[in-house]
């Protein structure tokens, strides 16, 4: 399928450019926006490896680009940042905006099976977006890709990586929803999107997936604030840590005293994540 992307804004930063694009997504059945940060290029023929960033609940493609400061390290390391939106937009599905943790801004990076939410196929953007990038941006090397994210996006990064290790060199997350089948956010979303079959839920739960996809060689890197008010009830990092330990999966889980769930936390440690992925992408 031929995909077209149209540039709608451009801003220079650290020698490179934040560029926002729109395109029609056949997967989601609507027009979608995404951002790319292109670092300064050493030559016209140079191709950049890419890091996909998946954002959290309530976010669009703009939050990370505006708040994280990741462009400084991306520029220094010579990696492009790809930032999609978090859910379909403009479909006007009844109830899509009734609550902040479900519907708009809350796609959970899964493929919904319930008819009402049939357009909520954010997991398939894993396939559609790289094809769009390949067809529209010859300066990107989509064969060299890593994935990261925050909160709901951290959940997406972990589950997508575990199920697609042939597509990504590395994974990291900030405060991921690591065991959604056992927290209120996940239970609400999964019930509406996937129905009542708990086996279907486990396909989008990183802690559950560890037992199925435990041949992981690259270290999984997670940063978590100890003062994050969601840590113990919603994020459940310790459950994911226990699963990794059970299967001897390399996990670097850093707990940071005093830090919360915000972009203040992300911007403090984002350079470490960019460098983590840059090392993997350049091997």
Would you say 70 and 116 are in contact if contact means Cβ atoms under 8 Å apart? Answer: no
Query: Does position 1 have pLDDT exceeding 80, yes or no?
Result: no
Helix (H) or strand (E) holding 158: helix 152-163
Give the pLDDT score at 3. Answer: 81
pLDDT tens per residue, range 90-141 = 999 999 999 999 999 999 999 999 999 999 999 998 899 999 999 999 999 9
Give the pLDDT score at 178. Answer: 98
Which residues make Cβ contacts (< 8 Å) with residue 214, sequence separation at least 6? 247, 249
Q: 132 lies in a domain? A: yes
Q: 200 lies in a domain? A: yes
166 catalytically annotated: no
Tokens 């930032």 identify what position?
A: 83
Write the CATH number for 101: 3.40.50.1820
Q: 262 lies in a domain? A: yes
Distance CA 38, CA 222 (A): 25
Give the pLDDT score at 280. Answer: 98
151 catalytically annotated: yes
Number of structural domains in the chain: 1
Q: 1 lies in a domain? A: no
Out of 55, 87, 151, 170, pick the active-site residue: 151
217 catalytically annotated: no
Distance CA 55, CA 33 (A): 13
Query: Does position 198 have pLDDT exceeding 80, yes or no?
Result: yes
pLDDT tens per residue, range 140-170 = 999 999 999 999 999 999 999 999 999 999 9
Cβ neighbourhood burial of 115 (10 Å; 0-12, 13-18, 19+): exposed
Would you say 108 and 155 are in contact if contact means Cβ atoms under 8 Å apart? Answer: yes
CA distances from 267 to 54, 71, 156, 192, 276 (A): 15, 11, 20, 33, 15
Residue range(s) defining the domain that contains residue 112: 6-281
Q: 10 lies in a domain? A: yes
Q: What percent of the chain has pLDDT over 90?
A: 97
Distance CA 77, CA 69 (A): 14
pLDDT tens per residue, range 228-270 = 999 999 999 999 999 999 999 999 999 999 999 999 999 999 9
Considering only CA atoms, which of 269, 278, 283, 267 is closest in space to residue 77? 278
Considering only CA atoms, which of 57, 56, 9 is closest in space to residue 34? 9
pLDDT tens per residue, range 16-67 = 999 999 999 999 999 999 999 999 999 999 999 999 999 999 999 999 999 9
Out of 150, 228, 273, 277, pick the active-site residue: 228
Out of 35, 121, 150, 261, pick the active-site residue: 261
């Amino acid at each position: 399928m031929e995909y077209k992307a149209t540039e709608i804004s451009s801003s220079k930063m650290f020698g490179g450019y934040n560029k926002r694009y729109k395109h029609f997504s056949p997967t989601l059945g609507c027009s979608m926006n995404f951002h790319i940060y292109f670092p300064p290029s050493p030559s016209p023929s140079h191709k950049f490896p890419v890091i996909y960033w998946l954002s959290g609940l309530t976010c669009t493609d703009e939050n990370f680009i505006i708040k994280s400061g990741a462009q400084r390290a991306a520029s220094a390391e010579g990696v492009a940042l790809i930032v999609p939106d978090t859910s379909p937009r403009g479909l006007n599905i009844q109830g899509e905006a009734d609550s902040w943790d479900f519907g708009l801004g809350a796609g959970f990076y899964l493929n919904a099976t319930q008819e009402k939410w049939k357009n909520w196929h954010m997991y398939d953007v894993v396939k559609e977006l790289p094809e769009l990038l390949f067809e529209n941006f010859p300066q990107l090397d989509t064969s060299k890709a890593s994935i990261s994210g925050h909160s709901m996006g951290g959940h997406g990064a972990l589950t997508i990586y575990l199920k697609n290790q042939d597509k990504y060199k590395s994974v990291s997350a900030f405060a991921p929803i690591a065991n959604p089948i056992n927290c209120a956010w996940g239970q609400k979303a999964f019930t509406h999107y996937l129905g009542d079959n708990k086996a279907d839920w486990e396909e989008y739960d990183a802690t559950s997936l560890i037992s199925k996809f435990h041949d992981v060689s690259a270290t999984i890197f997670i940063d978590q604030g100890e003062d994050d008010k969601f840590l113990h009830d919603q994020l459940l990092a310790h459950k994911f840590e226990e699963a990794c330990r059970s299967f001897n999966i390399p996990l670097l889980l850093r707990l940071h005293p005093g830090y919360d769930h915000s972009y203040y936390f992300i911007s403090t440690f984002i350079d470490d994540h960019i460098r983590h992925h840059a090392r993997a992408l350049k091997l």
